Amino acid sequence: MNNLLTLIKGIYYKYAVDMTSCPRCGKEAKATGKTWKFGLFDGKGFYCNSCKKPFSAFYKKGVLSHTVPKK
């Protein structure tokens, strides 16, 4: 059962982090492909085509923790 939950979380994380909402305008933004580790967090770069600005999202254990800039 625990392995199944880990698999489901992994699948959710893979698809959830490909697109997220922009903290500035709230519209969908696409991942740039840039990823990095920042302490306990996994960072991922995004670009909003509506705002024409980049932002970063930080995940902890596969769950969105915060964005820079803040929402």
Q: What is the pTM of this model?
A: 0.73
What is the number of structural domains in the chain? 1
pLDDT value at residue 10: 55
Q: With the C-alpha atoms ordered 70, 5, 12, 43, is the resulting torsion angle positive or negative?
A: positive
Strand segments (E) across 18-52? 19-21, 28-38, 41-48
Structural domain that includes position 51:
2-68
pLDDT value at residue 7: 47
Helix (H) or strand (E) holding 7, with range, is helix 2-16
What are 3-36's pLDDT values in tens digits? 555 545 555 555 555 778 999 999 999 999 999 9
